[in-house]
Structures are given as structure tokens and as C-alpha cells.
Structure 1
Amino acid sequence: MGAKFTVAYWCVLLAALLPYACAYLAKSGGIGKPRGQGGYDNQDPRAWLARQTDWRARANAAQANTFEALPFFFAAVLIAHQLKAPQTQLDILAVLFVTLRIIYVAMYVAGLATMRSAIWFAALLVNIVILLSAL
């Protein structure tokens, strides 16, 4: 019997796509608008994003932080699978991690810094539990 693509592995895919959703959000509204009128500049996208303010700037910052969270999550899921952690528990924890990261992005974009930080910390704790779930 071949390897099974678990719910936790699907969560790895969702987590990997989340930064791109943040990037789209940061660029939304500027796409299709002429550069001379502040529209998205695909010739120099990083400089354009660096000039953004308010929720667009926060969406871009959420993109960076979401990329930063990926290696630990990926490693935790892979190690937990390798060490044969209880699959249902692992799947639930992975779904919880991705859900918390989605809420984190929403709090970041909304400018709710204290709530965002609390959600970030909760997601970190869930990630640690994933890593240690095979013990």
C-alpha cells in the first residue's frame, strides 16, 4: 500500500499558499490601475509594495511573516509523520495551525496588533505541539 496524503499534508499545501494570498491582497486595488495613478508596478513590485501604507502595507508584512512561519510548520509536520504521531491528532493540530495563521493574517490586515500577536503566539504553541506530538 502506498503512502497516504494526510489532512496534515494538505495543510502544508494551504500554509504554503497563504503568503501568496497575502501578496494578492497587498496588491489588490492597484492591479489594472495605471502606474502614474498609483497602480501596481510590475516593473518594480518590491519598491511599489514598500511605498504602500495602511492595510496594504500590513498585508505585505503578513506575507513576509507567513513565509517565515513555513519552515518550522513544514518540519514539524514531517517529523511528526516520520515519528508516527497519532494521525487524527496531527491532522487536527495542522488544521488548527492553518486556521490560526488565517486569523493572524486577518488581524494583521485589520491593524489589531495585540490580537494578532496573541494569535501568532497560539500558532507557535500549536506548532511546538505538532513537533512533539509523537512523544
Structure 2
Amino acid sequence: MTSLLICLLLAILLPYLAKGPVAAAMAKLGGYDNQHPRAQQAKLTGYGARALAAHQNAFESLLVFGIAVLTVIATNKVTDVVVILAIVHVVARFAYHLLYLYNYGTLRSISWFIAIGASLGIFAQAL
């Protein structure tokens, strides 16, 4: 159970860690605009736009993964398979983020499918 909760914590932290590259890109775009950050983010291109998309996708992925993990915990179906799938999810999501930043679209999509597959696999264990 501890490994599963660590994976959940890492997944929770990822969107906030993913904000770092977005903030760095915003700082290069005339300084970080803390009054209107979303308006400034809309002007990002290239690396900055990819960083923003990866940041936003981390929140989207967290919802699916978080619900899957909480479902197996609530149904008392935590197994070694669940823990392995959770680790696969977290590794795939970290890879996804890096691949997004460095503009490797095909590999990024593969890592996305691996992560969502792992989340769905976790949920399936609760059935």
C-alpha cells in the first residue's frame, strides 16, 4: 500500500512540478505576469506552449489515475499488479512530460497510451 500511495503522491505533485518550465517560458516572455498569467500563457509558442500543454495534461491525467487508485483502495483490491501498474503510470507520465518538452510527438503519444492503459488497468482490478 505504501508504494501505491507514493505513486499517488508523485502523480499529485507532477502538475505542480510541471509548472516550472511554464514559469520559465513566461519569464522569458517579458517577465512573469502574476497579474494576468493566463493571458500571458496564451501568448506562449514553441517550448513554452508545449510546457503549458504538458502542465495542463498532467492535471487531466491525475483525475483518471487518482480515481482508479482510490477505487482499488476503497474496494480493498490493492494487489502487486495494481502497484506495478501505478509505477508504470508514474514513469510513463514523467516520460510524457519530458517528451512533450523536447518535442518528440510520437514517443509522447506512446507514453500517454501506456499511462492511460495503466490507469484503466488499475481500475479494472477493482471490478
TM norm structure 1: 0.84
1:84 paired to 2:76: yes
Post-superposition offset of 1:83: 2.4
Task: Give the match for residue 86 of structure 2.
Answer: 94
Unaligned runs of 5+ in 2: none
Task: Give the match for residue 122 of structure 1.
Answer: 114
Post-superposition offset of 1:99: 0.7
For the pair shown, the structure with the greater C-alpha radius of gyration is 1
| Secondary structure, counterpart of 1:28 in structure 2 | helix
TM norm structure 2: 0.89
Post-superposition offset of 1:125: 0.7
Task: Compute the RMSD of aligned alpha carbons.
Answer: 1.8
Q: Distance in 1 between matches of 2:41 and 2:26?
A: 10
> Which of 10, 13, 18 does residue 9 from structure 2 map onto?
13
Task: Give the match for residue 46 of structure 2.
Answer: 54
After alignment, is 85-94 or 65-74 more displaced? 85-94
Q: Distance in 2 between matches of 1:110 and 1:97?
A: 20
Post-superposition offset of 1:134: 3.9
Aligned length: 127
> Which of 34, 37, 40 does residue 42 from structure 1 map onto?
34
Unaligned runs of 5+ in 1: none
